[in-house]
Amino acid sequence: MEAMKITNRKKKKAKAARFEIITVLPEALKSYFNLSIMGRAQAKGLMAVCWHDLRQYGLGKRRTVDDAPFGGGPGMVLMYPPIEKAVAKIAGRGEKRGKRTRVILLSTRGKVFDKGAAARLARQYDKIVIIAGRYEGVDERVRKIADEEISVGNFILAGGELAAAMVVETVARFIPGVLGKDESLEENKGSYPVYTRPAEVKMDRRRLKVPAALMSGNHKEIEKWRREKGRRKEEEVGREEKAG
């Protein structure tokens, strides 16, 4: 009877991943996450993307969230108190912050974000809170309330909203069920050239054809071609990075 009870026990449904983005522009990318893969994943209950207006945590009647930098200089800086209040409300403070919750500050000084970091975040956390900066940046003390800093690349954006979208989508692709098939992951298919119909196109006076190996129907030959092209691409990228 005990074995029967275990067999008939319903499988516990996996907890949906939550992405909480703190920003002064909450409307900036809402529509993006309601479309295509991200929209379908949310409709299935696999994940949720929430936007939090930092001004709701602003100071005074005007809900102030920024001020001029000490020491002078151009632009405005996002203040510590509104961000701290937002993070405390969404993620919790200190011991009240769950082990499966991660607070990320987007920063040009952070560790460069890659697929390894994305896989780690997807695997280890149910709630990811992202602080998206604006203007000249955030008060340095905000770093004390973040669990880690992430940079999406060696370039500067006007704000962190696009960077937040990049992080969310990349992490989401490692959540089981979001893509449907693991083979859709870029590290599996995007490292080698891909083609689709038509098999031949004209460009100026040239004819560009799909490689014969891909048209052969021989799966071993196709896999061999893909591995070789993928290896060459990795070597090419490595040379470019060294040269840069």
| Res 244: pLDDT | 60
Work out the burial of residue 172: count CB atoms within 10 Å of its CB; fewer than 13 is exposed, 13-18 middle, 19 or more buried. Answer: buried
Residues 218 and 178 in one domain: no
Model confidence at 25, pLDDT cuts 50, 70, 90, reads very high
Confirm whether 11 is domain-assigned.
Answer: no
Phi, psi of 161 (to 5 degrees): -65, -45
Amino acid at residue number 196: T
Q: How many domains does the structure of the chain reveal?
A: 2
| Domain of residue 76, residue span | 17-182
pLDDT over 80 (residue 237)? no
Residues 86 and 146 in one domain: yes
Work out the angle between the directed axes of helices 115-124 and 161-172 (0-180°, nearest 10).
Answer: 70
Shared domain for 134 and 232, answered yes or no, is no
Token pair, residue 174, equals 């490692």
Burial of 106 (0-12, 13-18, 19+ CB in 10 A): buried
pLDDT band, residue 8 (cuts 50/70/90): very low
5 domain residue, yes or no: no
High-pLDDT (> 90) share of the chain, %: 74
Q: Give the three-state DSSP class for 64.
A: strand
Structure token pair of residue 42: 């949310």
pLDDT at 45 over 60: yes
Residue 71 lies in a domain: yes
Q: Per DSSP, what are the bridge partners of residue 150?
A: 111
For residue 13, what pLDDT is reported? 60
* Same domain (yes/no): 65, 39: yes
State whether 39 and 117 are in the same domain: yes
Report the mean per-residue pLDDT for the chain.
89
